[in-house]
Amino acid sequence: MKKENILFGIAGLAIGLFTGFWFANAVNQTAPASAQTGPGAPSTAMSSNANIPAGHPDIGQMGENPNGQMGPAVQESIDAAKASPGDYDAQLKAADVYYQIGRYDDAITYLNIANKLKPKDRELMVTLGNANFDAEKFDEAEKWYTAALAIKAADADVRTDLGLLFALRPTPNYDRAIQEFNKSLAIDPNHIQTLQNLTVAYTKKNDAAKATATLAKLESVDANNVAIKQLKDAIAEIAAK
């Protein structure tokens, strides 16, 4: 998946890539063909390596050699987790190395083992949500995000990710996505990624007025946001219909 506007560091890389992919595709599907250029433009290859921060290894290459075999450090972490199924930290480390190379199903396996060891660990719930999100297991991701929000509701990042689940499903529910985005803004009115994605959601619903108002708020808090021009083009397109 692609990232139009990297807002998170490496720890949140995968979820950020997914978020930006939805933004880029949603805008490009609405904007004129002439606007479909640059980092967020459609591509024949759905690669999560696009727009990764400078100097960051490509996903799918970290810890692997050219013929696809895992490097010694990666294999060592996995072996340690298998040898010590009761070691919480070892399970997390194995999950992390799989997550970093984009093998989300394997990461989820070790995260689930860790969850059985510490079922009340909220950060782990969020990580399980992220991994399932990136694996496109949206029902599972919703379960984990909801569990994390039940412990701490005032989390704009997780609330936004929950909203994105409803926008990204095969049958999108933009009304529910907007509901979650607005809850996120109630926590943090200046949450840039929420404002960006809420603008897209209103655009997808052909609501130019609300999209324009949300974009104005985004521009007031992040005037240099690279998404602004694309969003303006998309709004202009639906307003002209």
Q: Using the predicted structure, report yes or no on whether residue 2 has a pLDDT greater than 90.
A: no
More confident residue, 127 or 31: 127
The structural domains of the chain, with segments of one domain joined by +, span 60-152
Query: Could you please report the per-residue DSSP string of 16-61?
Result: HHHHHHHHHHHHHHHS-GGG--STTS--SS--TTTTPPTTPPPTTT
Q: How confident is the model at residue 121 (pLDDT cuts 50, 70, 90)?
A: very high
Q: Are 162 and 183 in contact (CB under 8 A)?
A: no
Neighbouring residues of 123: CB distance < 8 A, sequence distance ≥ 6: none
Q: Are 182 and 210 in contact (CB under 8 A)?
A: no
Strand partners, 70: 64
CA nearest to 163, candidates 189, 209, 129:
129
Neighbouring residues of 158: CB distance < 8 A, sequence distance ≥ 6: 126, 129, 145, 148, 149
Q: How confident is the model at residue 241 (pLDDT cuts 50, 70, 90)?
A: confident
Note the pLDDT tens digit of each residue in 11-54: 233 333 334 445 544 544 443 333 333 322 322 222 333 332 33
The highest-level CATH class for domain 60-152 is mainly alpha
Q: Using the predicted structure, report yes or no on whether residue 88 has a pLDDT greater than 70.
A: yes
| Integer Cα distance of 131 and 206 in angstroms | 31
Full-model pTM = 0.73
Out of 13-27, 162-176, 213-227, pick the least confident. 13-27
CA nearest to 77, candidates 61, 104, 51, 100:
100
Query: Could you please report the per-residue DSSP string of 164-204?
Result: HHHHHSSS--HHHHHHHHHHHHHH-TT-HHHHHHHHHHHHH
Q: Are 81 and 94 in contact (CB under 8 A)?
A: yes
Specify the pLDDT at position 184: 97
Distance of CA 156 to the CA centre of its chain: 13
